[in-house]
Amino acid sequence: MPVTMVPALDEAQILSDEDYLVLRAKQAFMVDPHAAKAWMLTAKTLYPNNFAVQFEAYNIVKSAKNVREAAKCLETLLQQFQEDAELWNEVEALTRALRSDCPDPEPSFLRAVFAHLSTDAQQQLLQVTADRSKDTMEHCRLLMILLSRFPHAVVKHGPRLVDTLLSAEKHSHFQVANNCYRKLLVCELVPLMGASPVPVELPPRQLYRLMHKMIEYYLSCLTSQDPNEPDPWEKLFLGFRSLATMLNWDIASVFGQPWGREIYWQQILEKHEHLHPSLDPESHEVRQHSYCTGIFFLRCLHEYISSIHSGDHQLLLLESFVMPPSEREAAEPPSKRRKHDETVPLVTVDLVTATSTGNPPSNSSAGVPNSNPSTSSGRDRINSTTSVVTNLTATLRCWTMVNSKEPVQRGVTKLLQLLNVDKWLSLFHQDVQLYRGEVNELVNSLLQMDSPDNQSSNAVPMNSTIVKNLRLASAFFYLRQLPAAVDRALQIVGMLSSLPSGGTLSPNLLKQTHAQRHLHLLSLSRTPVLQYCVHLILSTLQQHFVSQPPGGGATTTELDMCVGNMLVLIQLELGDAEQPMPGALELMSKLVSHIRTRPSFSYPIFTNYIINTDILEEIMHLAIRQENPVVFEIAPPSSTQLTSQRRISTRGVDKGAKEDFKSAMRRQIARSFEPLEPLLIKFLTSEQDYVRRLLWPQAKTYVPRM
Amino acid sequence: MQPITMSEKQSLRKSEFPACAREALIKVEQLCVPQASGRPPSAKEMDLAMEIMAEFIFCEVDRRGHSRKLTCIQQLQLAQLLCDYFAGVQFGSSGPQGAIIGPNGDTARNTLFLSLFPPTTSKNRAQALVQLVSMAISTKNKPVLDSTGIWMQQLGCTSKLVLQLAEGLVKDYFVLVPKAVTRLQDLPSLAPHFTANFLTTVAEMYGCPEQKDGFSPPPAALLEVVTQWVSDNPRLCLAALVVNLQPLLPLGSIPMAALTPFAGLFKWCVLSPLLATSKSRKARGGTANGSSNGSSDGKVNVKKESSDNGLHNGDQTIPKECPLYSRLHLALLESLVENVYPSVHRTNSVKDVVSVQHLASIVEPVQNWYIKQVMMSESKPQELTQEAHEALELALDRLGQSVQVALAANCAYGNKQYLLTQLDTLKHLPESRLLRIVLKTHHTPLF
């Protein structure tokens, strides 16, 4: 029967049969997806070994967004056509999608396709892609995806991946521990190995290396405050537990618990007490204990270091001042006081929070380690996150434990050296020395920092010089080398401008305590540091003043100058009359009583520096009272004064002179609103001689030991 | 066993319908279902059973043997009663007298069912069967549907009785209340064997050679349900092959071979574009031919359903037939492939899914259509219209795809050479490139 062809699909006539079928499928796709699939199904059965046909089938179901079908096609392709480049483009797009969370439709679809592959195909796909990858990072990442999806493969691939990552990091010459290989190793591989259903076998040497790398990584996250690692300690402890489990450490379980310093401490302490002191440092037991104690110590130390940096201003532990117990308290029977160990220093800090001002006396036992475990642990749990003092004492007691057994001490020291935490440790060591009263050692180490080597580096910031001088001043004060202490204090006052301004007066510098010593965590800002220096000089002058034998020794002039200086200095702590610092009022009245006993009082710079109303009123009262008025000379002779003018003095009976004195005092009272801090800084810088002359009577010839 | 005698009939006569029907069912079960001894019922017992059924259950005759008929209400009551009886009675385990312990409850139920509706069933009783199954579908009565599935297979899915049943069901569910189709969605999971056999029967019903053009389009609702069933249940078309009937049948019965719906439904898909074209051509032909539209088949008065199939608006990219056929065709192909590469692992695939003769029977109507189209052509030389060309292309593509996938999936049984020879007669038709590729692929040298 004669029939002519409709000239449709002209070009199709020259296509191969395979291409013809693919073309029909593609054409049908736009009009009727079902027909397209029917064509593809037919083509697949006709040419099961033709890549183009099979791949087109995949593309068609892919454009139809049919995940299940696409997965089926892809699986067939993976089984049959592993060598085809076009397939690998697709596989690479898929593995790229797996590694990202890109919400675009294409990657999301590919991820869904992957999820619908059989587990065998998933594993094969990742394995083969990883093997093909020339980039190490790529290779490792793909293996990591494989391992995270197939925990059972960790046993096989984990150890090899550890090697790969370690050597990749080594050959990349990174300067920092926080690098991409380390991150992959520590953050992903270690937890995967820890969670492996079948224990992963690694040689102990390798495990220790991993341990170091891991701790180093998280410590560097801590110091750099990496925003991608919000909770490094949590992760570090989990990783530590994984590795400890792989090392068969029985203590591993301790590190699986949520963090609580006291809970950990009790368990580690118990292990410690059962540890035989003569064990070989390389033994399993000692190593285990050294690492656990070391890492626990580091966390305590970090909590302490962070807490002294957590406020607006850094805190610095310094020797502070003890108020002798009142007579009534001193008369208490000793048995009542014995519950406090007097050799343990009282440590105070000014709380920024409004809950309390410093450590109330009831808390003064915070420095006593485990005086009563049941109550102290309960209290510590409450305070652990808030109190700097408990952080300090907890770290101290841990440090004491570390050093109590020689093999452990060696193990921990070695670990700490490897981890390069000198910066934290040196700060802490100084605190330990001060706390334990090993102050000579502290002074020596501080003075060594003064060596020309260090100074030549020229990069010593002003702040660290102030810190050093504060430490030295407080150390000399402790050693009763008062002139040296005052000298450092005066140097600090000269450098105050380099400190951040602000801060408030501390009510805790002077404490009444049964303990022999008082340490204070001073806030490093202008006001408290000035207050500390002033208090230290005041305290020194007071001792100088008290130590003078009655009726002998110091000349009247010297004595007046000493009292005058103290009056100037006390003004800071008297401050606002409503809230004088503890002890300030008492000291002022002592000084006034002293003047009262004298016929005259001469302090030529009085009008320059004394503006406190209370002091001025007392002086006024002493000068104009009916009986035995004290004769005051309180202004220096001035060249600008006319000869007719008199020195401001109450000497003589000149009525005009008395009026002059009164008006001079009124002028001083008028100045009482002047800020005190600049005034005192000016005093301690301009009138240094007034202070020095007293402490070094033969200043020209006498050089104090330093 | 208590002997059942003619006096039983006397006692049954004491109660009225439907109470007597229920009692009669118990008696019939006792008579037909082999007892613990395994002895099949004697001819005398079977005769008695037949009499009881006729008089007390279906009420076809009165006590004097005069024929009578149940009222419509009574017919429904009977269907309800049978449904309850088949669903509620633990056949074989606890008979009415507690003495009947059959080997298998399903077997007992099937035995009773086959006895109630023997191949010689009268027209009225066939009507009762339609009502019973229709009610079982709507009440999801699995026991009745399972027995019906077996009954269909034993009688043959293309037998007259089964065709009557299918017709009745189609009328109930797709013609009278087209909205009822949603109730049928879970039928394949409820009663796969019944659904598969039902599919085979309806496939034949609309695609049998006696039909004009070899194919008459099924109601749209039926097409939709069938398409959905096959798409959603890739194993549905194979269901009848999977069931081993032997243990479910009365003692001594021979299981009949299953016939799958594949060939029949493929025929729908292949012939539907051709029919759509010839119909639209007729429609364009003028009012003279209008009378033939819709009255060609009195047996199934559903011709109007196909009117939307003929829609065409000149845009050649839009298929001129109902898009469901394309989906159904794909679902059938996927079902065939599913048999070979199951998505869920199965131990072995089913063989002998579709016979080559059955598949080859699609060729003839295509040939006939082509010859008719060319004859009707007014142009010289005689050629197909553009529209007819596209229809033919679609039909040949679908035929080629069906044959190819069936052969590749190893689903066809019988003499493959016969199928290829039949296909070869279409080779000269235009747009048969796929057919030529299929022939080339499966061609085996004769020497």
Residue B277 scores a pLDDT above 80: no
* Nearest chain B alpha carbon to A72: B343
**How confident is the model over A178-190, as a mean pLDDT?**
87
Q: What is the pLDDT of residue A279?
A: 74
pLDDT for the residue numbered A4: 40
Q: Give the residue from B24, B8, B242 showing the smallest Cα distance to B112.
A: B24
Based on its alpha-carbon atoms, the radius of gyration of chain B, rounded to whole angstroms, reads: 25
Cβ atoms of A25 and A56 within 8 Å: the answer is: yes
Q: What is the DSSP string of B346-377?
A: -S-PPP--EEHHHHHTTHHHHHHHHHHHHHH-
Q: Determine the pLDDT at residue A656.
A: 66
Chain B contact for A6, CB < 8 A?
yes
Contacts of A24 in chain B (CB under 8 A): 397
pLDDT higher than threshold 80 for residue B312: no
| Cβ contact, residue pair B405, A42, below 8 Å | yes
The pLDDT of residue B149: 93
Whether the per-residue pLDDT at A619 is higher than 70: the answer is: yes
B386 vs A: CB within 8 A? yes
Residue A455's pLDDT is: 47
Q: Is the pLDDT of residue A680 over 50?
A: yes
pLDDT value at B445 more than 70? no
Contact between A41 and B381 using a beta-carbon 8 Å cutoff: no
Query: Residue B442: pLDDT above 50?
Result: yes
What was the pLDDT predicted at B180? 65
Question: Which range, of A82-91, A368-377, B135-144, B361-370, averages the lowest pLDDT?
Answer: A368-377
> At A548, is the pLDDT very low, low, confident or very high (cuts 50, 70, 90)?
low
- B214 within 8 A of B368, measured Cβ to Cβ: yes
Q: Which residue of A has its CA nearest to B441?
A: A46
- Residue A244 in this model has a pLDDT that exceeds 50: yes
Q: What is the mean pLDDT of residues A293-310?
A: 87
The average pLDDT across B73-80 equals 87
The neighbour count for residue A159, using CB atoms within 10 Å, is 16
In DSSP notation, A372-431 reads: SHHHHHHHHHHHTTT-HHHHHHHHHHHHHHHTTSHHHHHHHHHHHHHHT-HHHHHHHHHH
B382 and A21 in contact by Cβ < 8 A? no
A697 pLDDT exceeds 70? Answer: no
Among B333, B383, B433, beta carbon nearest to A4: B383
B433 contacts chain A (CB < 8 A): yes
- Give exposure, B186-210, as e/b (b: 16+ Cβ within 10 Å): ebbebbbbbbbbbbbbbbbbbbbee
- % of residues, chain A, pLDDT over 90: 4
Res A144: pLDDT? 85
Percent helix / strand / coil, chain A, rounded to 5: 65, 5, 30
Mean pLDDT of A572-577: 77
Residue in A4, A31, A41 nearest the CB of B405: A41
User: pLDDT for A26-48, tens place per residue?
Assistant: 888 878 888 988 998 899 888 88
| A138-171: pLDDT as tens digits | 888 888 888 888 888 888 888 888 988 888 888 8
Q: Collect all residues of chain B within an 8 Å Cβ-Cβ radius of residue A23.
A: none
Which among A30, A37, A72 has the least Cβ separation from residue B330? A37
Of all residues in chain A, the percent with pLDDT exceeding 70 is 82
| B45 vs A552: which has the higher pLDDT | B45
* Best of A6, A13, A69 to mutate (most B CBs within 10 Å, chain B): A6
pLDDT of residue A450: 59
Please, what is the average pLDDT of chain B? 78
Q: Do A2 and B382 touch (CB under 8 A)?
A: yes
| Contact check, Cβ <8 Å, B401/A39 | yes
CA distance A17 to chain B (A): 7
Q: Is the pLDDT of residue A174 over 60?
A: yes
Chain B residue nearest residue A68, CA to CA: B343
User: Could you tell me which chain B residue has the CA closest to the CA of A12?
Assistant: B433
Residue of A126, A232, A137 lying closest to A182 (CA atoms): A137
Nearest CA in chain B to A44: B405
Please give the structure tokens belonging to residue B70: 């149940």
Instruction: Determine contact, residues B54/B60, Cβ cutoff 8 Å.
Output: yes
So what's the pLDDT on residue A690? Answer: 77
Query: Inter-axis angle of helices A655-670 and A613-624, to 10 degrees?
Result: 170
Task: For residue A21, list chain B residues with Cβ-Cβ distance below 8 A.
Answer: 434, 437
Q: Do A24 and B397 touch (CB under 8 A)?
A: yes
Check B326 against A20: CB less than 8 A apart: no
B228: enclosing H helix or E strand: helix B220-232
SS3 state of residue A93: helix
Query: What residue in B sits closest to A76 (Cα-Cα)?
Result: B341
- pLDDT value, residue A352: 59
pLDDT digits (tens, 9 = 90+) for A589-604: 888 888 888 888 888 8
| Residue A189 reports pLDDT greater than 70 | yes
Q: Shortest CA distance to B352 belongs to which of B418, B409, B423, B419? A: B409
Confidence of residue A6 (pLDDT cuts 50, 70, 90): very low
Mean pLDDT of B399-414: 90
Restricting to A residues 160-219, those with a Cβ less than 8 Å away from any Cβ of B are none
Mean pLDDT of chain A: 79
B150/A contact by beta carbon, under 8 A: no
CB–CB contact B430 A3 (8 Å): yes
Name, of A451-455, A496-500, B213-217, B304-308, the range with top average pLDDT.
A496-500
Residues of B in contact with A41 (CB under 8 A): 330, 333-334, 337, 401, 405
**pLDDT per position as a tens digit, A58-114:** 888 888 788 888 898 888 888 888 778 888 888 888 888 887 778 888 888 988 888
Query: What pLDDT does residue A367 have?
Result: 36
Closest approach of B381 to chain A, Cα-based (Å): 7
The answer to whether A57 contacts chain B (CB < 8 Å) is no
Of the partner residues B386, B400, B430, the one whose CB lies closest to the CB of residue A5: B430
